[in-house]
């Protein structure tokens, strides 16, 4: 999927500050952070949106979520609190069509999000 920005980050064709990677999951700082901690956690394998998930993806989605919690801990925002968000499609504001879990923390986050 060479036209996908996050696939290009994963393959190191596009620069990003990678904060974690393993065989299946990559995490990097958001280029336009909305909080002191703003990390995007993605599967290496291209999946466009949550609407495209199948039963086979249950494991990777679990890994992405658990990794976000571990990164939150490493960034010392676990106890104070953090938010994890998957945006899906236009009305939710999805702009990159490779699923990514936003991890936001380090400040008070308001609810509802607007």
Q: Which stretch binds Zn ion (CB under 5 A): 26-34, 49-57, 62-70, 98-106?
A: 98-106
**Sign of the dihedral defined by the CA atoms of residues 25, 83, 35, 32, in that order:** positive
Longest alpha-carbon distance in the chain: 38
Nearer to Zn ion among residue 14 and residue 92 (C-beta): 14
Q: How far apart are CA 26 and CA 90, in angstroms?
A: 24
- The neighbouring-strand residues paired with 41 are 27, 101
Q: Point out the catalytic residue in the list 38, 98, 100, 102.
A: 100
**Shortest distance in whole angstroms from residue 32 CB to ligand 5GP:** 4
Instruction: Looking at residues 33 to 92 of the shown chain, list those that interact with Zn ion (rule: CB under 5 A).
Output: 46
Nearer to ligand 5GP among residue 77 and residue 101 (C-beta): 101
Question: What binding mask, one character per residue, do residues 78-97 give for ligand 5GP by CB under 6 A, x or -?
Answer: ---------x-----xxxx-
Q: Are 71 and 19 in contact (CB under 8 A)?
A: yes
Length of the chain, in residues: 114
**Shortest distance in whole angstroms from residue 4 CB to Zn ion:** 3
* H or E element at residue 25: strand 25-29
Residue 100 annotated as catalytic: yes
Contact residues for Zn ion, defined by CB under 5 A: 1, 4, 6-7, 46, 98
């Amino acid at each position: 999927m060479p036209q996908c920005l996050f696939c290009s980050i994963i393959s190191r064709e596009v620069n990003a500050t990678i904060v974690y990677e393993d065989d299946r999951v990559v995490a990097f700082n958001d280029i336009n952070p909305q909080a002191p901690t703003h990390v995007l956690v993605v599967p290496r394998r291209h999946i466009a949106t949550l609407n495209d998930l199948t039963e086979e993806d249950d494991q990777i989605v679990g890994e992405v979520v658990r990794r976000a919690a571990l990164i939150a801990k490493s960034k010392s925002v676990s106890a104070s609190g953090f938010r994890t968000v998957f945006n899906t499609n236009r009305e939710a504001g999805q702009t990159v069509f490779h699923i990514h879990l936003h991890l936001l923390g380090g400040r008070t986050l308001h609810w509802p999000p607007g």
